[in-house]
Structure 1
Amino acid sequence: MKPSNTIRLLLVDDHKLLLDGLKEAIEQEKDLEMVAQADNGRKALAQVKQFKPDVVVMDISMPELNGIEATRQIIKQFPQQKILTLSMHADKHYVMGMLKAGVAGYVLKTNAFEELAFAVRQVASGNFYVSPEITGIVVNSALEQEGAPLSMQENELSSREIEVLQLLAEGKSNEDMAETLTISKRTIEIHRQNLRKKLGLNTIAELTKYAIKNGIISL
C-alpha cells in the first residue's frame, strides 16, 4: 500500500511499450503512483478532470491533440496543475513551445528511467526541472527574451483552429473531425476557411506542411 503522501501521476503517451515500462518503474517507487494514463492530449484533458493527478507527465507528438495544445488547455482550465514534459524532442522549437504552454519541467525520453522519478518529485514540490542536455536552450532563450516557437499560432489561431489543423493534417475528414470535436460539419468548414484566410494557405498539403513546421504534428 502506498503512503498517504504519494504523488499521483497521469502518464500521457501514445507508445504503449514506453507506458508499460514507465508504469513498472513507477511501481518500484514508494512515493509515486500512476492513477491513470492516456494516449493523446484530448483524453489527457478528460483524465485530469476525472482523477485530479498531482503531476501530469506529458508527451508532445500524439494524435488528435498534441502535447503543447493539450498543456495549454489543461493549464487554462486548471491553472494549478503541474505538468512535466517527457519527450524525444531536444530541439528549441519543442522545448520552448512546452515551456511557454506552462509545463514545470522537461525530461528527455533518452533519460526517462534515470531522471523521471527525480523530476516528478521536483515538479510536485513546486520546483522547475529540465534535463541537463537542454538547459542551454532554456537559458539562451531566456537571455534572448524570445517568444514561444508557436507565437504565430498563438497570435493568429484559436485553440479550436489549432485542433482542426492537427486533425486535418492527420488526414481526418470533416465528418471525422466533427465527431471528434463534437461540433457540426458546418462549423468545421468555417474553421477550415478561417485557417486558409489567416495563414494564407489554400491546400491541404500547404496546411499539413505548416502543421509539421510548427510542431503541431510530427513525421
Structure 2
Amino acid sequence: MTVRVVVADDQELVRAGFGMILQAQPGIEVVAEAGDGAAAVEAVRTHRPDVLLLDIRMPGMDGIEAAGIVSAESDCKVLILTTFDLDSYVYDALRAGASGFLLKDVRRDELARAVRVVAAGEQLLAPAITGKLIARYTERPAPSPDAAGRLAVLTARERETLRLLARGLANAEIARALVISEHTVKTHVSNVLTKLGMRDRIQAVILAYETGLTVPGRPD
C-alpha cells in the first residue's frame, strides 16, 4: 500500500528536499507541496493524503492552526516539523491533533520511517521524548471535576494502562509491568482511545496529564 504525502514548508529548498527524499522511498508518494498553512489545508482537501508533513512556523496560517483544521476535517495524520527539540509550539501542535513531530535535521531514513509509522496510526514520539515534551509543556492547574470525570468511563486496568502510557512505556513494557500479554495491552489501548474519543496515543497521554492521572516530575 502506497502512503500518500503532502509536504508543507515555507522554505522552498527545504520543502523540495523533503519531497525528493520521500518520493525516492518505496511505497511513498508525494502528491503535493504547499508553502503555507492555508495551502496545506487546501492540498489535503484536494488530494486526501495519508500524511501531512507540516512545518510548525509559517507565514499567515501557521502549522498549529493548519493541524487543527486538517485533524478536524479528515483522517489525514499530521507530522509536524520543527527546528528545536523543545519548541514552545510543539505541545500546542499535539493538542491540535498532530500525531507527532520531527526535527528538521532528521536523517532521511528516519524521515521515511516516521511517515510510515504515523500513516499506520502509531505515535511518532519515542517514549523518552514523549515524557520530556509533556512534562515541559503541560502547565496544569489542579484538575477540575469535569476534567477528571472524563476518565470515569475507563476500567481500572484501562486507567492503569493510560498511566503507564503517560510515563512513556511501550506496549511490551506495559505488558511486563501489568503481567499481561502485548495483545491484551493493545486491546486496552484501543479501548482507551475509543472511550475517550482520541485520535491516537499522544492525545491520550496529554489527557492523562491534564486530568492529573500523571503529574510531571513525580514518579508513579
TM-score over 0.5 for the pair: yes
Asked if 1:91 is matched to 2:86, the reply is yes
Instruction: Describe the SS at the equivalent of 2:121.
Output: coil
Structure 2 residue aligned with 1:68, among 55, 61, 64? 64
1:14 and 2:10 matched:
yes
Residue in 1 that maps onto 2:140:
146
Task: Tell me, in whole angstroms, the C-alpha distance in 2 between the residues paired with 1:10 and 1:33.
Answer: 9
User: After the TM superposition, which residues 45-194 of structure 1 pair with which residues of structure 2 at under 5 Å, given as runs?
Assistant: 45-78=41-74, 80-130=75-125, 134-140=129-135, 146=140
**Which of 28, 31, 37 is the aligned partner of 2:27?**
31
SS at match of 1:69: helix
- Please give the secondary structure, in 1, of the residue aligned with 2:106: helix
Q: What TM-score do you get using the length of structure 2 for normalisation? A: 0.59
SS at match of 2:105: helix
- Counterpart CA distance in 2 for 1:132 and 1:119 is 14
Change (3 A) 1:114 1:63: same
**Cα 1:20/1:72, change in 2 over 3 Å:** same
Q: CA deviation at 1:95?
A: 1.5
Change in 2 beyond 3 A, CA 1:12/1:112 = farther
Secondary structure, counterpart of 2:57 in structure 1: coil
Distance (Å, rounded) in 2 between the aligned partners of 1:72 and 1:139 = 19
**Separation in structure 2 between the aligned mates of residue 22 and residue 28 of structure 1, nearest angstrom:** 10
The residue identity in structure 2 corresponding to 1:69 is E
Q: How far is the alpha carbon of 1:114 from its aligned partner?
A: 3.9
User: What amino acid is the match of 2:98?
Assistant: V
Q: Secondary structure at the match of 2:101?
A: strand
> Would you say the 8 A contact 1:89–1:95 is kept in 2?
no
Separation of aligned partners in 1, 2:110 and 2:50:
18
User: Which segments of 5 or more consecutive residues in structure 2 lack a partner in the other structure?
Assistant: 142-220
The separation in 1 between residues aligned to 2:128 and 2:105, in whole angstroms, is 10
CA contact (8 A) 1:106 1:131 kept: no
Over 4 Å off, 4+ runs: none
CA offset at residue 75 of structure 1? 1.6
Q: Which amino acid aligns with 1:49?
A: R
After TM superposition, give the deviation of residue 92 of structure 1 in Å.
Answer: 5.0
RMSD: 2.2
Aligned residues: 141
Stretches of structure 1 lacking an aligned partner (at least 5 in a row): 148-219
When residues 37 and 146 of structure 1 are mapped into structure 2, their CA distance, relative to the original with a 3 A threshold, is farther
Q: 2:192 is matched with which residue? A: none
How far residue 133 of structure 1 moved from its aligned partner, in angstroms, is 7.6
Encode CA deviations 1:108-147: one digit per residue, 9 max, x unaligned: 11115242111111101110012678434235259x6739
**What residue number does 1:204 align with?**
none
Distance 1:131 1:15 in 2: 27
Contact conserved, 1:107 with 1:131, CA < 8 A, in 2? no
